[in-house]
Amino acid sequence: MKVDNSLARHWLIVVILSTLIFFALTMVIGAQQSVWFDESYSVLLARSSWRDLFHLTAVDAHPPLYYLLLKLWGGIGNFNDLWLRFFSALSAAGAIFFSLLLARKSFGSKVAILAAPLLALSPFLMRYGFEIRMYALAALIAVAATYVLIKATESNRRKHWVIYGILVAIGMLTLNYMIFVFAAHAAWLVYVWAKQKPRAKLWREPWLKAYILAIICYLPWLPFAANQLIHDVSSGIATTIGPVEIVKILSFTFVYQPEYWLDKWTGFLLIIVTIIAIFLITRALKLATKPQKQSLILLLSLSISPILIMIFLGLVSSRGLFVERYIAHFIWAFYLVIGVTAGIVLIKSKKTAVNIALYLVLVGTLILGVVNLYHHGNFNFQRMQTNAAKEIVATMGGCRADRPIVVDDIYEYIELQHYLRGCDNLFFYTDGDMPTRGGYAPLEHSSARLTAQNLDTQNLIVIRIKDQAHFRAPSEFRLISTEETFDVIGIETYTKD
């Protein structure tokens, strides 16, 4: 297949248009989503004082850099939901843009042009492109670090290695799981070093100095990171990676559905596109030039190594590391692998019609994934729950001075308080000890906590998980209505006789 030379000369326009398409789709889908627990927690930290922000981050699962940037960014836009999502979408779009620049640098303008539609329609990256969390920013840093890494290995200039070392430190201060990306980089660097003839002394390699620089920059946070590692605050949602999780990764990546939602036709399509991906990768490795092959091995390392490391760590320990969102920062590499291998095969292989058909199947599958993402939105696959805090607040009419709202679940309280900021009549009930680490830590000394079940009020609203009744309205209250349109969430309205 030939890409017109005039089109190749305008590769930057194609890259920019693809990035804008991705950004527009991300924002359109994201604008419809209700803020959920993790996002509400991000905003809660960002709205805290600087001192509280650092303290709460130190007892959480992630480093502080994203929260610091979100505090600065959010303050500009008064912490408006769309404004906060804009920050993530801008980061994810930046990851797409630099991924295509990386494709052009390593594989040429024509390959970058053919890869562009597959990157623009990447549903998994799109999903975490509107999330008010650090994953999109981490993806952008990972792409930028990879781009600089390739540039540094080509030029061997000190400034490029210094920039790379700083990006490694910034990445580690954004997301702990970035260590898997940089481990993949290190594995590739050792591979390249081992292939050199003559081979330089390992300790003289400039990239080793770059990692030393990164460690020095990271040292102030290291004690807190070690403390986070010792105290797991994942709430038991993380699992080890086995065959089921591999299928889950593929299903979310291509069609944005968990494996247990696949019907027979979508399941068959997933098998087909997986086979196509394997075919394109193996074929491209044979057709690629030596420099292209080296870059392709780096992208494959970025796609596969983090998963292999998580599998190994799961085997040697009982601690789960996998939640689908924990691969969002390196999933761009997999989409880029598919894009560039499809481009190489289309350009260099003679079976044009077959290759075009395979390419169109990939594009069609990713379109299906974007459509599924549009329908599912930010559905919580751990709690099997539609995130609907904004709709719940609208249904009960918001905050009123004559009607306390008691949330019978701390998790839901974190979500709802985002839309009821400044509401003095919003409470949560718990009869147990408050956690001092993780997502509930900000509520440890909260005045909104109820420990008794008596309230001096005429009217009362209780929001609870269905079939859960920790808080019971006192006997003098009469249930007058129940609203049950939010999956597992019920809104009960009481009045005093």
Which tokens sit at 202? 């390992």
SS3 457: coil
425/459 Cα distance (integer angstroms): 12
Residue 240 identity (one-letter amino acid): T
pLDDT in the model for residue 350: 81
Task: Work out the mean pLDDT of the chain and round it to a whole number.
Answer: 93
Does 1 score more than 60 pLDDT? no
167-212 tens-digit pLDDT: 999 999 999 999 999 999 999 999 988 887 777 777 888 999 999 9
pLDDT in the model for residue 435: 82
pLDDT in the model for residue 342: 97
Strand pairing partners for 495?
459, 478
Model pTM? 0.95
Domain residue extents for the chain: 5-376, 389-496
pLDDT in the model for residue 199: 72
Q: Report the first-to-last Cα separation within the chain, whole angstroms.
A: 78
238-267 tens-digit pLDDT: 889 999 999 999 999 999 999 999 999 999
Does 235 score more than 70 pLDDT? no
Segment among 126-130, 233-237, 316-320, 421-425 with least mean pLDDT:
233-237
367/118 Cα distance (integer angstroms): 9
Mean pLDDT of all residues in 69-83: 97
Which tokens sit at 110? 């024509």
Q: Are 355 and 3 within 8 A, CB to CB?
A: no
* Top-confidence residue, 229 or 423: 423
The Cα angle at residue 143 between residues 82 and 333, in degrees rounded to 5: 100
Mean pLDDT of all residues in 41-52: 95
Distances (CA, A) of 23 to 12, 17, 75, 84: 16, 10, 22, 14
Which tokens sit at 192? 């390249």
pLDDT in the model for residue 176: 95
pLDDT in the model for residue 352: 85
pLDDT in the model for residue 151: 95
DSSP class per residue in 62-100: S-SHHHHHHHHHHHHTTT-HHHHHHHHHHHHHHHHHHHH
The Cα angle at residue 301 between residues 296 and 303, in degrees rounded to 5: 95
Does 484 score more than 90 pLDDT? no
22-32 tens-digit pLDDT: 999 999 999 99
Q: Provide the residue count of the chain.
A: 497
- Which helix H or strand E contains 493, and what residues bound it? strand 489-496
Segment among 71-85, 363-377, 418-432 with least mean pLDDT:
418-432
Mean pLDDT of all residues in 220-231: 89
pLDDT > 70 fraction of the chain, expressed in percent and rounded: 99
267-323 tens-digit pLDDT: 999 999 999 999 999 999 999 999 999 999 999 999 999 999 999 988 888 778 899
443-475 tens-digit pLDDT: 988 889 988 777 889 999 999 988 888 898 888
pLDDT in the model for residue 4: 66
Residue 51 pLDDT class (50, 70, 90 cuts): very high
pLDDT in the model for residue 257: 96
pLDDT in the model for residue 317: 83
